[in-house]
């Protein structure tokens, strides 16, 4: 399907900032005249009879996934707890209005939602396929209309006053068909790039694991470090099932023999109001989850608080491992230290005695160690690594020269992976922006579908 950009003389001012100029033949109307708004609810959790595996689908914000239809949910409302006035009909648009404002999904059947979601049941003046693109393009306006300091909230009254531009039903259908076609092209391109990133991440992780467990050997050829597969006669059984065979000249040791592991047991009553504008940086898990440690977006504590725990005052070469919560196993290494810094109680500080800190970082990042950590956490309600468990983890120790070769090789090799991944992510961002722009232009009439 083709389209053209409308001439300025075909447009009129809408008087609504997010809509801008719209076609002269189009209407602009508040949402309350286009749809019925139904706010969801949560039956009492104290009464088990309110919930049933055979009950009605009950949608929460986590279930919302833009243009995907929702037909099921983990939790369901029992027949006895269903409020008929809150039942949302198939094809209604479900919009999160508490927290993730503007996040939306589509009802694939009659269902219920919790109180964070306002459901839009459009009247006959709006084509059901056009409606999803209307709401998608209005996300920023939904956010602008919300209020709240800690948690953003958009009540149904404010939402009902959002303006939309509406052509006749025939043109709505043409626009929806056009956007379905173009969105499919964008989505397929995005999906291919996401698959590429997944393959690169897997290849990257596989390379780290093969090198730090000795399956691949680092050699120097023409002043460049390369890898070759170790011969069978160069290996010996490790005695550890997940490690398999290891190089004959490598030592199978334990973390407590090769490192000193320290972690803060608590903050001795530290409260958020004790944070200061300047002072001693205090890292949390979000600061260590990316390639480079983030020393900028941190909280600060006083000198007195910093000096309470000298054992976790960071030094260059320290390896940081998240030991609590859903991100347990996240690892990074202090390659530079721009300011005096400590860590919160979710992070363990692993200080190598003699081994290379970069090698240790890669070893913990390997599939072997991450699988070991996940096995240790299996079944825990709240994931947690105890210091005693960390001490007993097995650690492969090559010669210091080979450790340094491994560190140098992986640093150099992974830069290429990371650069390709980053460029692919940027390409995905541009595709998503182009898709959003096209949808916005179509539903506000800047372009005409031919």
- Per-residue pLDDT at 177: 98
- Per-residue pLDDT at 423: 98
Average pLDDT over residues 312-331: 94
- Per-residue pLDDT at 269: 66
314 pLDDT tier (thresholds 50, 70, 90): very high
Highest mean pLDDT among 39-48, 194-203, 343-352: 194-203
Average pLDDT over residues 302-325: 93
Percent of the chain past pLDDT 70, that is, above it, reads: 98
Backbone angles phi, psi at 12, to 5 degrees: -135, 150
379 pLDDT tier (thresholds 50, 70, 90): low
* Residue range 380-421, pLDDT digits in tens: 777 888 888 899 999 999 999 999 999 999 999 999 999 999
Q: Cα separation of 276 and 253, whole Å?
A: 42
Q: What is the mean pLDDT of the chain?
A: 94
Nearest to 37 by CA among 86, 70, 76, 105: 86
Q: Cα separation of 30 and 280, whole Å?
A: 51
271 pLDDT tier (thresholds 50, 70, 90): confident
Average pLDDT over residues 322-341: 94
* Residue range 29-71, pLDDT digits in tens: 999 999 999 999 999 988 889 999 889 999 999 999 999 999 9
For residue 338, pLDDT over 80 is answered with: yes
Average pLDDT over residues 309-316: 94
- Per-residue pLDDT at 383: 83
- Per-residue pLDDT at 222: 86
- Per-residue pLDDT at 376: 84
SS3 for the chain is: CCEEECCHHHEEECCCCCCCEEECCCEEEEHHHCEEEEECCCCCCCCHHHEEEEEEEEECHHHCCCCCEECCCCCEECHHHCCHHHCECCCCEEEECECCCCCEEEECCCEEECCCEEEEEECCCCCHHHHHHHHHHCHHHHHHHCECCCCCECCHHHHHCCEEEECCHHHHHHHHHHHHHHHHHHHHHHHHHHHHHHHHHHHHHHHHHHHHCCCEEEEEECCEEEEEECCHHHEEECCCCCCCEEECCCEEEEHHHHEEEEECCCCCCCCHHHCECCCEEEECHHHCCCCCCCCCCCEEECHHHHHCCHHHCCCCCCEEEECECCCCCCEEECCCCCCCEEECCCEEEEEECCCCHHHHHHHHHCHHHHHHHHHHHCCCCCCECCHHHHHHCEEEECCHHHHHHHHHHHHHHHHHHHHHHHHHHHHHHHHHHHHHHHHHHHHCCCEEEC
- Per-residue pLDDT at 268: 63
For residue 267, pLDDT over 60 is answered with: no
Nearest to 106 by CA among 63, 150, 75: 63
- Per-residue pLDDT at 148: 84
User: First and final CA of the chain: distance in angstroms?
Assistant: 7
Under 8 Å between Cβ of 152 and 101: yes
Domains of the chain, each with CATH number or no CATH: 6-166 (3.90.220.20), 169-219+399-450 (1.10.287), 251-397 (3.90.220.20)
Return all residues near 189 (Cβ < 8 A) that are at least 6 apart: 431
For residue 254, pLDDT over 90 is answered with: yes
Tokens of 184: 């499919």
Backbone angles phi, psi at 147, to 5 degrees: -145, 170
Average pLDDT over residues 422-438: 98
For residue 161, pLDDT over 80 is answered with: yes
Average pLDDT over residues 291-307: 93
Is pLDDT larger for residue 272 or for residue 134? 134
- Per-residue pLDDT at 317: 98
Backbone angles phi, psi at 394, to 5 degrees: -75, 145
The separation between CA 197 and the C-alpha centre of its own chain, rounded to angstroms, equals: 14
Between 58-67, 218-227, 418-427, 437-446, the lowest mean confidence (pLDDT) is in 218-227
265 pLDDT tier (thresholds 50, 70, 90): low
Average pLDDT over residues 126-155: 94
């Amino acid at each position: 399907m083709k389209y053209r950009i409308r001439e300025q003389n075909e447009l009129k001012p809408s008087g609504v900032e997010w809509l801008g100029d719209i076609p002269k033949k189009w209407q602009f109307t508040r949402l309350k005249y286009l749809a019925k708004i139904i706010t969801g609810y949560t039956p009492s959790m104290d009464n088990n009879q309110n919930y049933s595996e055979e009950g009605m689908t009950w949608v929460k914000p986590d279930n919302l996934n833009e243009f995907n239809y929702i037909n099921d949910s983990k939790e369901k409302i029992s027949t006895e707890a269903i409020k008929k006035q809150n039942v949302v009909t198939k094809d209604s648009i479900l919009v999160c209005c508490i927290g993730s404002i503007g996040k939306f999904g589509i009802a694939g059947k009659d269902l219920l939602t919790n109180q964070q979601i306002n459901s839009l049941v459009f009247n006959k003046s709006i084509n059901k396929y056009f409606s999803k693109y209307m709401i998608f393009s209005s996300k920023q306006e939904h956010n602008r209309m919300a209020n709240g300091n800690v948690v953003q909230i958009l009540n149904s009254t404010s939402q009902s006053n959002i303006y939309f531009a509406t052509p006749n039903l025939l043109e709505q259908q043409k626009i929806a068909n056009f956007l379905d076609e173009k969105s499919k092209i964008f989505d397929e391109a995005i999906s291919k790039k996401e698959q590429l990133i997944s393959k690169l991440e897997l290849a990257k992780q596989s390379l780290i694991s093969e090198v730090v467990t000795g399956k691949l050997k680092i050699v120097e050829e023409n002043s460049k470090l390369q890898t070759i597969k170790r011969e069978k006669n160069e290996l010996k059984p490790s005695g550890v099932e997940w490690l398999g065979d290891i190089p004959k000249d490598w030592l199978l040791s334990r973390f407590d023999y090769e490192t000193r592991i320290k972690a803060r047991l608590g903050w001795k009553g530290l409260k958020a109001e004790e944070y200061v504008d300047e002072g001693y940086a205090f890292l949390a898990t979000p600061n260590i989850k990316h390639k480079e440690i983030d020393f900028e977006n941190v909280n600060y504590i006083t000198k007195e608080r910093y000096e309470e725990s000298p054992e976790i005052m960071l030094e260059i070469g320290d390896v940081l491992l998240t030991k609590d919560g859903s991100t347990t196993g996240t690892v990074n290494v202090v390659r530079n230290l721009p300011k005096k810094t400590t860590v919160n109680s979710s992070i363990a500080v692993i200080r190598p005695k003699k081994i290379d800190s970069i090698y240790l970082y890669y070893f913990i990042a390997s599939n072997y160690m991450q699988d070991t950590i996940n096995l240790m956490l299996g079944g825990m309600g709240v994931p947690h690594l105890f210091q005693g468990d960390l001490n007993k983890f097995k650690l492969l120790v090559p010669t210091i020269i080979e450790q340094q070769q491994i560190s140098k090789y992986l640093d150099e090799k992974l830069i290429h992976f990371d650069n390709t991944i980053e460029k692919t992510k940027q390409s995905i961002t541009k595709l998503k922006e182009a898709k959003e722009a096209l949808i916005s232009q179509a539903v506000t009439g800047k372009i005409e579908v031919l």
